[in-house]
Chains A and B, each alone.
Chain A
Amino acid sequence: MSAVFAIAPALPLGKSGKFVAGAYIVFVALILIYVAIMAIRAQRLERELDELRRDVEAARAARDPERETEGVL
């Protein structure tokens, strides 16, 4: 990585550097916020899947209690 920086020409940041940096930071921040929201949604989906799995197992156990007992014994 340091080799890349060594051969890269210096950027003439000057007074306008902060504006350019600001614009690109806004772009990156928007993507990061979006990814964070999607991560929260993915967690929620995972919870729903887990809930569904538990409900299906409970429904199966209620429907067929004898087999469950046999399985345990």
Chain B
Amino acid sequence: MPSTTYGKGLRGLSLATLAIIALALALVFFYAPLDADQGFVQKIFYIHVPLAIVSLCGFIFGAVLAAGYLRTGERKWDMRSYVAIHMALIFGIGGLITGSIWAKASWGHWWVWNEPTLVSFLIVLLLFATYQPLRFSIEDPERQSRYASVFAIVAGAFVPLNFIAVRLAQEFVHPRVLTLGGGNLPGSMRLTFLISLVGIALLYVTLWKYEMAAKNARSQVRRLRRTLLGDDNIRPAGRSAAPS
């Protein structure tokens, strides 16, 4: 069976990511104008919002990949879904911390419990934080993959529902600068934001491919060992949340 090579094109992708992120940082600090209301602290927007958006899209991406596993029964889809959710969690934590810093600078509090956007994001993050313990609690690899995929799909469907619910809520403290009608951002700020978003999205894809390549290499080494030396020479992998 031919194996998938996740490392293909990784160097070009890494260089593109680096270039776009460098460009985004230059635009953030030397091109985008200062916000009339918030001043310099608004620069956090260009890192916080892309991290949060890419994280939420990553959860949905993980759900789509999990559906691929349930449809085909191939372990590679489960691995892809696992890595997508794992990466989205890291980006989500980044979004949460940068948001918290922005909240402290703007509102004087690290966290505001009556703000629907913050709390709903925290709920989504906590929901997906249970994904790994769920996997770890199931020993049988087949069942682990199946249950985790069902969880990923249900939790993934919760992401857009949650987003719509927050948008429909009446009382806002959180500024609404991004809408389907183009939003309230002036042109230079919008361009800077879009470049930042592309940079963070590319970073997500690069790290996803990087981790997939590493996991794929490890599983191929184990498979080679099994083929060459027989099953008796394989050390049991032990219980793990990651697909084997």
Interface residues in chain A, defined as those with a beta carbon under 8 Å from any beta carbon in chain B? 8-9, 11-14, 16-17, 19-20, 22-24, 26-27, 30-31, 34, 38, 41-42, 45, 48-49, 52, 55-56, 59
Contacts A13-B40, A14-B40, A52-B225 hold; do A19 and B102 have CB atoms under 8 A apart?
A: yes
Specify the chain B residue showing the minimal Cβ separation from A7: B30
Q: Given A26-B98, A34-B90, A41-B214, output 19 extra A-B contacts at Cβ < 8 Å.
A: A11-B29, A12-B39, A13-B40, A14-B40, A16-B39, A16-B40, A16-B41, A23-B102, A24-B47, A27-B47, A27-B98, A30-B90, A30-B93, A30-B94, A31-B203, A41-B218, A45-B214, A52-B224, A55-B225
Are A20 and B40 in contact (CB-based, < 8 A)?
yes
Task: Name A's interface SS.
Answer: helix
Task: Name B's interface SS.
Answer: helix
A26 to B207, CA, bound (A): 17
Specify the chain A residue showing the minimal Cβ separation from B215: A41
Contacts A11-B29, A34-B207, A45-B218 hold; do A20 and B43 have CB atoms under 8 A apart?
A: yes
Chain A residues in 8 Å Cβ range of B229: 55-56, 59
Contacts A12-B34, A27-B94, A45-B218 hold; do A59 and B228 have CB atoms under 8 A apart?
A: yes
Are B217 and A45 in contact (CB-based, < 8 A)?
yes
A-B contact pairs, 17 of them (CB 8 A): A16-B40, A16-B41, A23-B47, A23-B97, A23-B102, A26-B94, A26-B98, A27-B98, A34-B207, A41-B214, A45-B214, A48-B222, A49-B221, A52-B228, A55-B225, A55-B228, A55-B229
